[in-house]
Amino acid sequence: MMAKQVNPDKPTKWEVVYESEQCTSIWKYDSKITTNGPVSVEHKWKKGFDVPVSTKKKTLGDLANETKKVLKTKRPKS
């Protein structure tokens, strides 16, 4: 069995910095953990910019629960 050789010239950890008018985003990569995307993303908001309250995306379960609540409130009472 042959061991996989690692190229010593190629870094395993690196960062990419994106600048915009609202924030600075730092994307951190580690090829030992995953090769499909960043390991973490950090946002540093600039002064004078209102930070969004929640950037969390809703899951399918959250959306289903919201529709159930709406349907229950629209039922006619008997």
CB burial string 39-65: b at 16+ within 10 A, e below: eeeeeeeeeeeeeeeeeeeeeeeeeee
* pLDDT for the residue numbered 1: 46
pTM for the structure as a whole: 0.52
Quote the DSSP letter at residue 38.
-
In this predicted model, what pLDDT tens digit does every residue of 32-73 receive, in sequence order? 888 888 899 998 888 887 776 666 677 888 888 888 776 666
CA distance 32 to 9: 15
Structure token digits, residue 68: 């159930």
In this predicted model, what pLDDT tens digit does every residue of 9-20 receive, in sequence order? 777 899 999 999
Averaged pLDDT for residues 1-11: 59
* pLDDT for the residue numbered 17: 95
Residue in the block written with tokens 């946002």? 43
Tell me: pLDDT of 2 over 60: no
